[in-house]
Structure 1
Amino acid sequence: MHINMSLDGYINDAGGVIDWHFADEEFQSYLDEMLESIDGMVFGRVAFEELATFWPTAGDDVSPVQVRRMNELPKYVLSRTLKDTDWHNSHRMEEDAIADLKRQDGRDLALFAGGRAATAAIRRGLVDELRIVVNPVLLGGGTRLFDGAYPRAELSLTHTRRFASGALLLTYEKAPR
């Protein structure tokens, strides 16, 4: 799972806006590398619909690597209500299908989800690694990263990285038993 979060735990502000993410040059390079290292992306419906309006027509102000990978990689949308997935190489699926995708050979899948989708994936034990980018901003309201009930999970911090913007990448894995 890879997601941006404010310091006070929100993934978007009270208006649903996500334009507060810090994105310095170093962070953009990190995103390029991360997108090159995966075989597919999983989204919640809301995140998918927002990104599907941006990436197909993204301009020169966005990394060419990100434009190419966001448009060419398989995109799996967790939704029971979404009818059409017009964005190239996108597919609607139910939450249970993630486990089938994980069993396939290949590189990692990245879950770029909203609060409900992230919580559902955590609840079902489908997340092996959490990469949380903590942005140096307080939003005071919005959508919490984890929205709903999930079982307790012990995690181990395996990596940290500080970007010039002050954003921190915190990488956690399930703690060994």
Structure 2
Amino acid sequence: MGRLFLHINVSLDGYITDPAGDIDWAFADEEFQRHIDDLLESIDGMVFGRTAFEQLAAYWPTAGDEVSTTQRRRMHELPKYVLSRTLRGTEWHNSHLLGDDPAGALKDLKRRSDRDLALFAGGQAATSAVRLGVLDQLRLVVNPVLLGGGTRLFDGTYPKADLQLTDTRRFASGALLLTYDLKPSGTSAG
């Protein structure tokens, strides 16, 4: 059975985009690109919110030499699942809407998956995954920057969740990959 993890760049002050909606502040050196290649090779599928899906669907089908061969291939072939109440269809290769019961659909996907599924983008999607109780792990790439505003990683209401730090990785850029498992409900830190 697979798990659903969130993998996302975040500023030290908790933003995933700057005030203009850009992510050009997030680092992307060769070491990090190798990390992304390895991550894409290790998963059974990707989950996106609607906005992120639309942006990525406009970019990846025509991506060129600015991305690795692994990224170009895996972004094409991996199944892509979309959390959306407004989209009625998708055109990006191997993409699927999760439908009116996203929690049930994601739980079913995790049961059928041999490997993990990655939720890559979208603050609303991340908040929804926590609210729906389907997120198993957070992989936060904390970038050494203070943005002072923008889109928060988690915004809105969701239940309290206890986390356990299970891994850390420091990149040469100074960014940290912090991996947290969400503890099952009813457990306490001890």
State the alpha-carbon separation in 2 of the partners of residues 116 and 50 from structure 1: 15
Q: Name the amino acid aligned to 2:130.
A: I
| Greater Cα offset, 96-105 or 6-15 | 96-105
User: What are the superposed Cα offsets for residues 76-113 of structure 1, whole Å, 9 maximum, x if unpaired?
Assistant: 01101113311111111132221121111311110113
Q: Name the amino acid aligned to 2:121.
A: A
How many residues were matched structurally? Answer: 177
SS of the residue aligned with 1:146? coil
| Paired position in structure 2 for 1:85 | 90
| Paired position in structure 2 for 1:71 | 76
| Paired position in structure 2 for 1:134 | 142
Report 1:100-111 matches (<5 A): 100-111=108-119
Asked if 1:28 corresponds to 2:33, the answer is: yes
* Structure 1 unaligned blocks of 5 or more: none
SS of the residue aligned with 1:132? strand
Of residues 38, 41, 47 in structure 1, which corresponds to 2:46?
A: 41
State the alpha-carbon separation in 1 of the partners of residues 41 and 134 from structure 2: 22
SS of the residue aligned with 2:130? helix
State the alpha-carbon separation in 2 of the partners of residues 131 and 11 from structure 1: 13
Runs of 4+ in 1 over 4 A off after TM superposition: none
| Paired position in structure 2 for 1:146 | 154
Question: Over aligned residue pairs, what C-alpha RMSD do you find?
Answer: 1.2
- Alpha-carbon deviation of 1:175? 3.4
* Structure 2 unaligned blocks of 5 or more: 1-5
Of residues 9, 18, 21 in structure 2, which corresponds to 1:4?
A: 9
